[in-house]
């Protein structure tokens, strides 16, 4: 693949910047429902994408055709598109300088998920499917498994040549209970497919899906007759799996510099975290620290180099509650420096494309809420007089500048005098991003910190779905508006 990438780069005229990515992907996915394996699929794809910057304008073309004719046609197409773009630009694109890199990177896993016999995976999933059926009110039991291996080569006209191999793996279970018009779900270890990581099959074994399935089934049934989450202002403790998505939506997306500069206005929206607020906005309380860290072992957003050949990095986005940095790229960083002359850093390496057929965009890596000093979840609950503890995301929605959000979770428990009480159904909470994070007064310690994988982050046109990770410990927020939906 490296030789092929270099050969493509050699076809580019001297005055043009270009990079090429050749990507081979292999996936395996399994889904069971009600004791039947309803999806069993193996997929492979291979292709290449050429990005060129000519006369200050971008062109991109991708193809699965590796014949000489296919490579020539695609290269010419990318150049022609750039030429067409260049006739309609008002400002020329410039890239921040970057030293060329020649390297290789590979995610090391203990057990290659593609090497585990399929029979073993089916047995594990079907046992977890069956173990959810603890009550006749369980009407649907489901499990899923997913593994992907990506082999990628990046080469550029600046002399970079980087090979990477990454494995992503994940699994989860979901029980649905029904009685009359009531319908409730519970998932483990997380909703939207479970837990995902840059790890091997050892992750799946550690999850102990079958061992947790009866509890999940029982909780789904208990939710059918549970009281509705009350409406009003409550102290809210969020479990780390819900906080992961809260961080994703309310910090990860608004700190993408392309959004903040207006480049996603036509689809995903813009950001309230505009460059004039950099270093000034009190985003959260002083205990709130958030990082973007593509180097975290096991994180779903972990890699060696981004799709511009920039090494993976750890960057503070929020430091002691203050907004201090963005997720950046070589192109956007130059524009940021024009608007904020005191900003001196280079790209922090967050450009990624979901496949060879897409251009790289600024994407979250592992965007984390750093752990705090409030011990374990039990300590935090014990320290809360009247509140609600919510776990496992069910619905999520946020406005196009990332201010007004509303989340629903699968389950909640009331907290009375430092103790967990009744289960509450249909919990929701709502807020405005900086008000919400400024109400954070306690974050649990490192022992409760988990990196959750979010495999379904969407952005861009054409739409690109990418893997991101989010580390978080449970945290408490004071006087949050909960139970905002009265009618179900």
Partner 1 sequence: MLGEKRLKEISKQVLGFSKAQETEVLLFVTDRCLTRFANSQIHQNVASEDLGISIRVVTRKKIGVASGNSFEESALKDVVKRAEALARLQKEDPHFISLPTPQPLPKIKSKTLQATPEERASQVWTIIKKSKEKGIVASGAYDSSITEIAVANSHGVWAYHAGGASDLSTILIGPESTGFGSSLAKDPKEIEKETERVVESAIEKVIRGEKPQTIEPGEYEVILEPQAVNEMMSFLAWLGPNARLYHEQASNFSSKLGEDVLGENITIIDDPLNEEGFPMPFDFEGHPKRKLEIIKNGKLLNLTYDSYHAGKHKTENTGHALPAPNTFGPIPLHLRFEPGKKSLEEMIKGVKKGLLVTRLWYVRYLNPRSLSITGMTRDGTFLIKNGEIVAGLKNLRFNQSIPDALKNVVEVGRDLTPLASFETELGTNRMPALHIAGWNFTSTTEF
Interface of this chain with partner 1, residues 107 to 166, rule: CB under 8 A: 118-119, 122, 126, 139-140
CB nearer to partner 1: give 101 or 430: 430
Is 399 a residue that touches partner 1 (CB under 8 A)? yes
Is 193 a residue that touches partner 1 (CB under 8 A)? no
CB nearer to partner 1: give 46 or 345: 46
User: For residues 256 and 414, what is the distance between their CA atoms, to the nearest angstrom?
Assistant: 36
Phi, psi (degrees; rounded to nearest 5) at 80:
-65, -40
CB nearer to partner 1: give 72 or 267: 267
| Contacts (CB under 8 A) with partner 1, residues 201-230 | none
Per the CB < 8 A criterion, the answer to whether 410 and 422 are in contact is: no
Look at residues 36, 232, 225, 198 and name the one whose alpha carbon lies nearest to residue 126: 36
CB nearer to partner 1: give 199 or 358: 358
Tell me how far, at minimum, the Cβ of 130 lies from partner 1, in Å.
12
Per the CB < 8 A criterion, the answer to whether 311 and 304 are in contact is: yes
Per the CB < 8 A criterion, the answer to whether 383 and 419 are in contact is: no
Per the CB < 8 A criterion, the answer to whether 142 and 36 are in contact is: no
Is 287 a residue that touches partner 1 (CB under 8 A)? no
User: For residues 412 and 234, what is the distance between their CA atoms, to the nearest angstrom?
Assistant: 13
User: For residues 320 and 277, what is the distance between their CA atoms, to the nearest angstrom?
Assistant: 15
Q: What would the 3-class secondary structure string for 116-174 be?
A: CCHHHHHHHHHHHHHHCCCCCCEEEEEEEEEEEEEEEEEEECCCCEEEEEEEEEEEEEE
Helix/strand/coil for 68: helix
Is 281 a residue that touches partner 1 (CB under 8 A)? no
Is 458 a residue that touches partner 1 (CB under 8 A)? no
Is 172 a residue that touches partner 1 (CB under 8 A)? no
Is 265 a residue that touches partner 1 (CB under 8 A)? yes
Tell me how far, at minimum, the Cβ of 373 lies from partner 1, in Å.
32
Per the CB < 8 A criterion, the answer to whether 367 and 247 are in contact is: yes
Structure tokens at 111: 């057990």
| Contacts (CB under 8 A) with partner 1, residues 43-72 | 43-47, 49, 57-65
Q: Which x/- pattern over 73-92 shows residues binding partner 1 (rule: CB under 8 A)?
A: -x--xx-xxx-xx-xxxxx-
Question: Candidates 233-241, 313-321, 382-390, 427-435 — which segment interacts with partner 1 by CB under 8 A?
Answer: 427-435
| β partners of residue 143 | 32, 173
Tell me how far, at minimum, the Cβ of 462 lies from partner 1, in Å.
6
Distances (CA, A) of 179 to 138, 216, 230, 433: 9, 17, 22, 37
Is 435 a residue that touches partner 1 (CB under 8 A)? no
Is 451 a residue that touches partner 1 (CB under 8 A)? no
| Contacts (CB under 8 A) with partner 1, residues 341-380 | 357-359
Q: Which x/- pattern over 305-344 shows residues binding partner 1 (rule: CB under 8 A)?
A: ----------------------------------------
Q: Which x/- pattern over 18-47 shows residues binding partner 1 (rule: CB under 8 A)?
A: -------------x-x--xxxxxxxxxxxx
């Amino acid at each position: 693949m490296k030789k092929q990438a270099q050969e493509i780069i050699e076809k580019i005229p001297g005055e043009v910047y270009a990079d090429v990515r050749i990507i081979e992907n292999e996936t395996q996915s399994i889904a069971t429902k009600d004791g039947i394996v309803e999806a069993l699929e193996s997929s492979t794809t291979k292709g290449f994408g050429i990005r060129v910057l000519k006369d200050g304008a971008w062109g991109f073309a991708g193809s699965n055709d590796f014949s000489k004719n296919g490579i020539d046609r695609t290269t010419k197409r990318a150049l022609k598109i750039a030429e067409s773009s260049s006739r309609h630009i008002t400002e020329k694109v410039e890239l921040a300088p970057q030293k060329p890199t020649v390297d290789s990177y590979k995610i090391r896993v203990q057990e290659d998920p593609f090497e585990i016999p399929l029979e073993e995976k089916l047995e594990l999933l079907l046992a977890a499917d069956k173990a959810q059926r603890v009550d006749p009110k369980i009407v649907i039991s489901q499990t899923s498994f997913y593994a992907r291996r990506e082999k990628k080569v990046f080469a550029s006209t600046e002399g970079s040549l980087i090979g990477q191999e990454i494995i992503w793996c994940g699994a989860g279970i979901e029980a649905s209970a029904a009685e009359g018009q009531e319908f409730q779900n519970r998932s483990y270890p997380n909703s939207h497919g479970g837990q995902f990581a840059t790890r091997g099959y050892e992750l799946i074994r550690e999850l102990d899906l079958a061992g947790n399935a009866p509890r999940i089934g029982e909780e789904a049934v208990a939710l059918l007759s549970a009281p509705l989450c009350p409406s009003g202002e409550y102290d809210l403790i969020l479990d780390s799996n819900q906080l992961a998505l809260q961080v994703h939506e309310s910090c990860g997306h608004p700190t993408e510099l392309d959004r903040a500069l207006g480049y996603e206005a036509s689809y995903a929206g813009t950001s309230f975290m505009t460059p004039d607020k950099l270093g000034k906005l009190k985003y959260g309380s002083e205990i709130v620290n958030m990082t973007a860290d593509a180097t975290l072992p096991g994180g779903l957003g972990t890699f060696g180099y981004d799709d511009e050949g920039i090494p993976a990095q750890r960057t503070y986005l929020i430091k002691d509650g203050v907004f201090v940095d963005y997720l950046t790229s070589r192109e956007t960083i130059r524009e940021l420096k024009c608007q904020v002359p005191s900003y001196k850093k280079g790209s922090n390496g967050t450009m990624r494309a979901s496949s060879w057929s897409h251009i790289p965009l600024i994407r979250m890596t592992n965007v984390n809420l750093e752990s705090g000093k409030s011990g374990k979840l039990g300590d935090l609950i014990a320290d809360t007089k009247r509140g609600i503890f919510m776990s496992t995301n069910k619905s999520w929605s946020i406005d196009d500048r990332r201010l007004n959000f509303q989340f629903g979770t699968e389950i909640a428990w009331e907290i009375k005098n430092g103790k967990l009480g009744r289960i509450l159904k249909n919990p929701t909470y709502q807020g405005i991003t900086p008000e919400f994070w400024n109400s954070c007064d306690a974050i649990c310690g490192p022992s409760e910190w988990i990196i959750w994988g979010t495999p379904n982050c969407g952005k861009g046109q054409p739409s690109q779905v990418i893997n991101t990770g989010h580390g978080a410990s449970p945290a408490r927020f004071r006087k949050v508006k909960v139970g905002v939906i009265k009618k179900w």
